[in-house]
Chains A and B, each alone.
Chain A
């Protein structure tokens, strides 16, 4: 827990540092109190391993979809290259994006539930969109295994052990369509990976990504407020403490 505390202090400090909150005004005097007391969410913040953290709210940081840890680790490493940790703040892994994707793949998203998946399948032009017979969860599996194959082929080593630059080279090949994949184009896979990573970084923390709302903090996005009618006319940029959807339950 000591570990956890340091992290949440750091993020708190960053939040305060990055912000020039006006006391009173739109935010209200309770603001600092609220942020310091934001414990409900601190546990979502880091990708802590279960042994180190016995907080109940971390139970959802486990695998719903992937069966092999290695596949999940490759996915994690790839998302981190798409959205790396930098001076702005955490990258995909710390935000929990890999768990977000794992959980999404297990459900309606991964199984294309609300999409037209009837035969026949033909490749189609770039302008005709998604045309693979594979569902998203299968596309991810094919893609992740291909990332590892490309890595073995190109660098004689696992993707997990590559330098960042080498990882980027491989991912770039997928984006450029320069890899042979079975059943789906490499660009389709890459675009799914890219968009799912951003979705995990910036969706409501309810989905398991955007840990501790740090994705929103970096972007100075306040999440979910009920009303801006008193602020919309104001000239200055207004920073607000982010609120999750869960806040809607309160009142």
Chain B
């Protein structure tokens, strides 16, 4: 079971979030203030942190937690919405969400953070159309024939990057920079060429793609 350390002083909101997350299969350790958070962070897979707290404020608590456990993802959940607050939070936190938030969006963001940290709930096994995917290996099986699909280095990189950000539209620049590790330049068609080859391997009909969706002018998306 994945554990979440939740620090929130508002009882109303805290109760709802705890209920919701427990209902989604998380174990929630809810603290009313930052006191004792550093002792309990070791047991958690992720920290949800409010900013306005009695005693130490959320920014200070978050920085301390990062010092104790640098690998734990921290999601700031605050009613403070100015850019300065967000920038200050994102100096150490992995995500910053403003209240009032959608509980479903919260769970989605938690999933993203956990997956990025290798704590996905299905241990990397997932089904996508006709593909059975094991992200831990990684391995891609065409379920119709049972054959493994072999991808080249760049194709694999691109596909894994898209899979790690499901339901999220990734721009051409984002993908290029994540895979090639260098800034993209105007009018570069390299990524499009690679995606075309990738689709020829994984799509049933590459001209009507079902796995990797093209968002015209914007980027690509893998829906799960």
Whether A associates with B in a native complex is no
Interface residues of B (CB under 8 A from A): none
